[in-house]
Amino acid sequence: MAETSAQATQTAPRAGRKKGLWQRSRRHAWGYLFVSPWILLYLVFGLYPLLLSFYLTFFTYSFVRPEDYVFVGIGNWIRGLQDPLLWKSLFNIFYNQGIFIVLKNALGLLFAVLLYKATYFGRLFRTIYFMPVVVSIVVLMTIGEFMASPTGPLQTMAVRYGLSGGPVFWKFSPWLPMPVIALINTWKWFGVSMVILLAGLYSIDTQLYEAAAIDGASGWLQFRHITVPQLRPQFFFLLVVDLIFGLQMFTEVFTIGFDVFGGTNNQALTPVLYLYAQAFDRSNVGYASTLGLLLAVIIALLTMLQFKVFPREAR
């Protein structure tokens, strides 16, 4: 470090210290210089919008007539808490994520275990399972929409084999859009859970299994008492990330063909879709900003709750 060169010039201590100090501050300058792009961008695209979002919640603001700035105090907040569409959208997203998060991680675990046990063709199967992860949501929702449509292959086969009485127009149903989207999303994302849990499986010490086998523990008992507890850090990570991203769902409902209010009965309205509708359909920018803040607070609280619920050693 800078000290080594200072020691080399010890015969002239004052000059040496000066040089060390100069070298050190030059290093400091490099440090600041290297992080300066981030600091600059964060001030402009992080801090400023953050403050602006608080500011906007106290006003009505419209893109159409930007000169009409009206101060409304906490009016947007009161409106938000009383807005039945906001609560509907929150209900929808929890309904959707409840199904999605369980299915995605259960299937991720199942296929991680299968790949762990499979001696041959593991890479081939992993390649296939992971394929939907890299394909865009727009493409997958387009495929999923037609696969599940009344004239699509799934319903046609269900009718042909007597599993379904007739065409189901799920998009217009009050209860079906959210589970259908959760299924399509499971198809897209279970591969991520799978590779993360598979990496976790390979990190488990095989001696644990050997010891359990000597004690006579069956495969199921080993799975229940060794595999699952050992994978807790991975599950914790997955659940935290799933919830943060899942509650902000927009593209799925928008591109699968619902209007900005999520259909005639708001059956597919998600909070971010509602925020988009308020901002860009109704031009209620102040209110939309309030919705963004409200949702951010809900997500932050739930994330903190997850950190509370999971024991510290399991993260």
Report the nearest approach of other proteins to the CB of residue 96 (Å). Answer: 16
- How many residues line the site for other proteins (CB under 8 A)? 91
Helix (H, G, I), strand (E, B) or coil at 256: coil
Report the nearest approach of other proteins to the CB of residue 311 (Å). Answer: 16
Among 106, 157, 211, 314, binds other proteins (CB under 8 A): 157
Interface of this chain with other proteins, residues 70 to 99, rule: CB under 8 A: none
User: Please, which residue, 208 or 296, has the CB nearer to other proteins?
Assistant: 296
Among 198, 201, 253, 268, binds other proteins (CB under 8 A): 198
Near other proteins by CB under 8 A, which window of 14-22, 70-78, 87-95, 153-161? Answer: 153-161
Report the nearest approach of other proteins to the CB of residue 185 (Å). Answer: 13
User: Please, which residue, 34 or 175, has the CB nearer to other proteins?
Assistant: 34
Report the nearest approach of other proteins to the CB of residue 166 (Å). Answer: 16
Return the closest-CA partner of residue 116 out of 11, 34, 18, 223: 223
Report the nearest approach of other proteins to the CB of residue 14 (Å). Answer: 23
Burial 155-186 (b: 16+ CB within 10 A, else e): beeeeeeeeeeeebebbeeeebbbbbbbbbbb
Q: CA-to-CA distance for 71 and 60, rounded, in angstroms?
A: 7
Residue 79 burial (10 A CB sphere; 0-12, 13-18, 19+): middle
Per-position x/- string for 5-24, each x denoting binding to other proteins as judged by CB under 8 A, each - no binding: -------------------x
Per-position x/- string for 21-60, each x denoting binding to other proteins as judged by CB under 8 A, each - no binding: ---x--xx-xxx-xx-xx--xx--xx-xxx-xx--x----
Helix (H, G, I), strand (E, B) or coil at 185: helix
Interface of this chain with other proteins, residues 203 to 262, rule: CB under 8 A: 233-234, 237-238, 244, 247-248, 250-251, 254-255, 257
User: Please, which residue, 17 or 28, has the CB nearer to other proteins?
Assistant: 28
Interface of this chain with other proteins, residues 100 to 119, rule: CB under 8 A: 110-111, 114-115, 117-118
Return the closest-CA partner of residue 256 out of 182, 168, 157: 182
Report the nearest approach of other proteins to the CB of residue 36 (Å). Answer: 9
Measured CA distances, 62 to 278, 280, 292 (Å): 10, 9, 16
Does 164 help bind other proteins (rule: CB under 8 A)? no
Interface of this chain with other proteins, residues 177 to 196, rule: CB under 8 A: 187, 191-192, 195-196
User: Residue 248 CB: number of other CB atoms within 10 A?
Assistant: 17
User: Please, which residue, 14 or 206, has the CB nearer to other proteins?
Assistant: 206
User: Please, which residue, 56 or 178, has the CB nearer to other proteins?
Assistant: 56
User: Residue 58 CB: number of other CB atoms within 10 A?
Assistant: 18
Residues 6+ positions from 177 with CB-CB distance below 8 Å: 170, 171, 253, 258, 262, 263, 267, 268
The angle subtended at Cα 272 by Cα 82 and Cα 307, nearest 5°, is 90
Copy the structure tokens of residue 276.
């988009």
- Do 153 and 105 form a contact (C-beta atoms < 8 A)? no
